[in-house]
Amino acid sequence: MIDKHIVAFGGDGFIAEPENKLSANFLLSLARKPREASKHRVCFLGTASGDATEYVSAFYARYSGLAEASHLNLFRREVKNLREFLLSQDVIYAGGGNTANMLAVWRVHGVDKILHEAYEAGIVLCGTSAGSLCWFECGVTDSFGLDLAPLYDGLGFIEGSNCPHYDSEGLRQPQYRKFIMEGFPGGYAADDGAVLHFINGNFVEAVSSKLAARAFEVRKQKNEVIEKPLPVRFLGT
């Protein structure tokens, strides 16, 4: 049986901490063995940011020395066969931005179906912010305007909901708790620097590239919302 990995970042800090490669090395440790003697292949999907060039550049700064890095533009298509290109990767990384727009564009191009095929094949799927909550059934997003709102049409590779940026955006925690209290599916929340790792749809562990970064399982029990702190393994020394 092939292990299927989802790695969801509360916030990865590409631009703020380009030299911090702890989480990148963790991702590569999960990837299947690279072909022959080559490096792992890691592809960046910058769809949520409109394929912003500065975000793509930050990805290359993080991964170029560690892996064979590439990116896939969907607003300015440069790859003819999307399926062949994505299924040749060992890790696919979705960046942050507007989750709802990203999912819509993926569905127009059939990328959602290709990502499901990649997941089943054991390619590590991961991402930060929008690229974190997209793998879940639902999540907390600012995609629809200036306020946080529930998003219900995630890819659904992981059951339940996700809330990134739990410590860095002041409204995330109270709004997530409010949504769950009102009937939103429970799930997982992560601070910036915290990383949630799932295998075959099941939560395995939380790790972090930043000291004191936290992760939680958040559920409604009877008439209250319970935040269960998860052990977080710091990836540094």
Report the CATH number at residue 92. Answer: 3.40.50.880
How many domains, in total, are found in the chain?
A: 1
Contact predicate 134/99, CB 8 Å: yes
* pLDDT class of 128 with cuts at 50, 70, 90: very high
Strand 158-163, strand 136-141: pairing: parallel
* pLDDT class of 38 with cuts at 50, 70, 90: confident
237 Cβ neighbours under 8 A, 6+ residues apart: none
Mean pLDDT of 167-179: 97
Radius of gyration of the chain (CA): 17
CA dist 59 and 229 (Å) reads 30
Chain Cα centroid distance, residue 164:
9
pLDDT given at position 10: 96
* pLDDT class of 33 with cuts at 50, 70, 90: confident
Among 129, 132, 143, 208, which one carries the catalytic annotation? 129
pLDDT given at position 32: 85
pLDDT given at position 120: 97
pLDDT given at position 178: 98
Contact predicate 61/18, CB 8 Å: yes
Tens digit of each residue's pLDDT (9 = 90 or more) over 130-163: 999 999 999 999 999 989 999 999 999 999 999 9
Instruction: Transcribe 192-235 into DSSP letters.
Output: TTEEEEEETTEEEEEEESSTT--EEEEEEETTEEEEEEPPEEES
Is the pLDDT at 99 greater than 90? The verdict is: yes
* pLDDT class of 231 with cuts at 50, 70, 90: very high
* pLDDT class of 236 with cuts at 50, 70, 90: very high
Q: Give the structural domain span for 152.
A: 5-234
Q: Report which of residues 17 and 230 the model is more confident about.
A: 230
Burial of 127 (0-12, 13-18, 19+ CB in 10 A): buried
Q: Which two tokens stand for residue 30?
A: 């999960």
* pLDDT class of 35 with cuts at 50, 70, 90: low
Is the pLDDT at 92 greater than 70? The verdict is: yes
The reported pTM is 0.97
Instruction: Examine the residue annotation and report whether 129 is marked as an active-site residue of this protein.
Output: yes
Instruction: Examine the residue annotation and report whether 165 is marked as an active-site residue of this protein.
Output: yes
pLDDT given at position 37: 58
pLDDT given at position 36: 64
Q: What are phi and psi of 104, to 5 degrees?
A: -65, -45
Among 49, 165, 197, 209, which one carries the catalytic annotation? 165
